[in-house]
Amino acid sequence: MFAAWGLRPEVEVHQLPGEPRALLWQRALGRGLWVSPTTEPPAGLKGQLLAHHLIGPAPDLLALVPWPSRWALTLPDRPAITHPLPLRRGPGGFPFTTLALTPAELAAWRLCNGSRKLGEVLQRSGLGLDALLSLLLRLTDVSAQVVQLRPGPARANEPALDRLVCPPRPAFAREAHHHGEGGETTLKHFHEHIHDAPTHFDEGETTFAHAFERPHPALGERPFGAALIDALVGLGADRPGLDVLEIGPGSGAVCEAALSHLIERGLTPACYTRLDLSPALLHAQAQRCPTTRSLQGSAEAIPLPDASIDLVLSNEVLADLTAAATPGGFDVTALDGQVWFNVGAFRLVQELARVLRPGGLAYLSEFGGPDELPTETTQLDHPEVSINFSQVAEVAQAAGLTAEIVPLGALLGVNLDARWLSRASFEGLRCLSREYKILLAARAYTPQTLWLPEPVEGVRFVSLREDGPAPVITRLWALILKKPS
Ligand SMILES: C[S@@+](CC[C@H](N)C(=O)[O-])C[C@H]1O[C@@H](n2cnc3c(N)ncnc32)[C@H](O)[C@@H]1O
């Protein structure tokens, strides 16, 4: 297929199922390119092929610099490297494997710091040339991508150290009960059949609130639920004796922290009701928050009387509600090319206009944004659709509420410079934890809160702007609704 391209003889051509492009991989150097086969590569692509040493003269190997992948974790006591298998990416992420090393290979691998040339690694490691090259062949293999050999040193914060050459993440399969007859999302069956809270939120869908259920520096050493209450008290929920409704409380983490913080602040509610579709989650919530009331039902038709609630909390629930191809009778300003409408969220805010007392306040958060084209996520095992907050606000205003859209990070005063475990390190440690017969829960670990049963090198903590164990806060927005007194 690439006969006319003049590829170097050691370049491998990988063709992956469902991937129209081919991966050209320079095995010795651990570098490659995805390309669409054409008879002759265009000039720009020729330059890239040359830069990746896929065509052209052989580079001087010992002058190259081994760049270590940030996805690799070193286990010095075994010794071994844990790394992902990039080409076997699945809908839930990468599988990982552990590659055993000899002590001498471990020493050589530790010398690969992104700035030393291979010649220096050879000299300092004491590993012979053949043994070093054999190690590098394993580490630069396309199935591992632990090392890339580059012509110069890596820059500070080099993004290529995070990158894996891999096929696009395949979409999770959808089941018949995920959509109704008109194609709308219908997650009632999905939620009614959730097994248990830890499996659901640690392995299936980790929310920001779940990852921050313990006090964290990013939230001024408060858990998420307490930071949320402080924000809502600042917006007027500052009286004791309120009737509180939490919609979709999940594992009960927000409920637990919110309620105890309300009590600490002398704002004990008259009644704290939890509304959820899932019997298993309602049970888990009741165990964590025994003084609160369980109510099974849907956010789209709230089983409560008119004017019975003062404060509503609903964190990362809106995307679970019905999304449909038309606004379904709601008068909203459609965007060009809009294929999903957050009809369930429209119904919810209409319901809130009914159940809130005059002077009542509601907080609704989700991923999306004021101008978001609602889009179905494919990385979850059920179809969630991101929220266009402007349209939900339009419906709320039409129903007589005031509506304000705010970035969730700003509402909670989140310190984006605080650090949490990087996504890559979390995924690697999660796989290792299965070997220890424990599951590393999905939490916003800091160097102080991460405990590991054996030494692991290469664990990275990054700012909250970068990917961690939960969705990045910059993707989350909040809608604050008030019912005029
Ligand atoms: C993504 S979880 C969010 C959990 C929690 N609020 C948090 O932030 O961690 C969605 C929650 O909403 C519930 N839920 C989904 N659809 C619902 C609906 N139509 N009515 C009531 N609860 C619903 C789910 O069972 C689950 O508890």
Q: What is the CATH number of the domain that holds 186?
A: 3.40.50.150
| Residue 461 pLDDT > 90 | yes
Residue 205 Cα: closest atom of ligand 1: 1
204/250 Cα distance (integer angstroms): 12
442/430 Cα distance (integer angstroms): 9
User: Given 29, 58, 87, which residue is the final one in a domain?
Assistant: 58
Confidence (pLDDT) at 42: 87
Confidence (pLDDT) at 348: 98
The answer as to whether 258 is a domain residue is yes
46 and 187 co-located in one domain? no
Q: Are 344 and 300 in contact (CB under 8 A)?
A: yes
Give percent of the chain with pLDDT exceeding 70. 100
Confidence (pLDDT) at 404: 98
Confidence (pLDDT) at 151: 93
Average pLDDT, the chain: 95
Confidence (pLDDT) at 224: 98
The answer as to whether 348 is a domain residue is yes
The answer as to whether 424 is a domain residue is no
With bands split at pLDDT 50, 70 and 90, how would you rate the model's confidence at 474? Answer: very high
Q: Report how far Cα 73 is from the mean position of its chain's Cα atoms.
A: 20
The domain tally of the chain equals 2
Average pLDDT of 34-55?
90
| Residue 18 pLDDT > 90 | no
Q: Is 278 in the pocket of ligand 1 (CB under 6 A)?
A: yes
| Residue 43 pLDDT > 90 | no
Instruction: For residue range 427-448, list pLDDT tens digits in order.
Output: 999 999 988 888 899 999 999 9
| Residue 389 pLDDT > 90 | yes
CA of 246 to the centre of ligand 1 (A): 10
Two tokens at 473?
A: 């806060």
Q: Is 249 in the pocket of ligand 1 (CB under 6 A)?
A: yes
With bands split at pLDDT 50, 70 and 90, how would you rate the model's confidence at 170? Answer: confident
CA of 200 to the centre of ligand 1 (A): 11
Boundaries of domain holding 42 = 1-58
Confidence (pLDDT) at 428: 96
The least confident of 14-18, 78-82, 119-123 is 14-18
Name which of 266, 273, 274 is nearest 239 in CA terms. 266
The answer as to whether 451 is a domain residue is no
Confidence (pLDDT) at 247: 98
CA of 428 to the centre of ligand 1 (A): 28
355 and 211 co-located in one domain? yes
Instruction: For residue range 292-329, list pLDDT tens digits in order.
Output: 999 999 999 999 999 999 999 999 999 999 999 999 99
198 and 344 co-located in one domain? yes
The answer as to whether 100 is a domain residue is no
Residue 19: CB atoms within 10 A of its CB come to 15
User: Given 58, 74, 98, which residue is the final one in a domain?
Assistant: 58
206, 224, 244, 317, best to mutate for ligand 1 pocket (most atoms within 8 Å of CB): 317
37 and 185 co-located in one domain? no
The continuous run of DSSP H or E covering 364 comes out as strand 356-369
Confidence (pLDDT) at 171: 82
The answer as to whether 164 is a domain residue is no
| Residue 39 pLDDT > 90 | no
Bond preceding residue 79 cis, omega within 30 of 0: yes
Instruction: For residue range 374-386, list pLDDT tens digits in order.
Output: 999 888 888 899 9
Angle between the 103-111 and 118-125 helix axes, to the nearest 10 degrees?
Answer: 140
| Residue 476 pLDDT > 90 | yes
50 and 189 co-located in one domain? no
101/295 Cα distance (integer angstroms): 55
The answer as to whether 316 is a domain residue is yes
The answer as to whether 133 is a domain residue is no
Two tokens at 304?
A: 């409560």
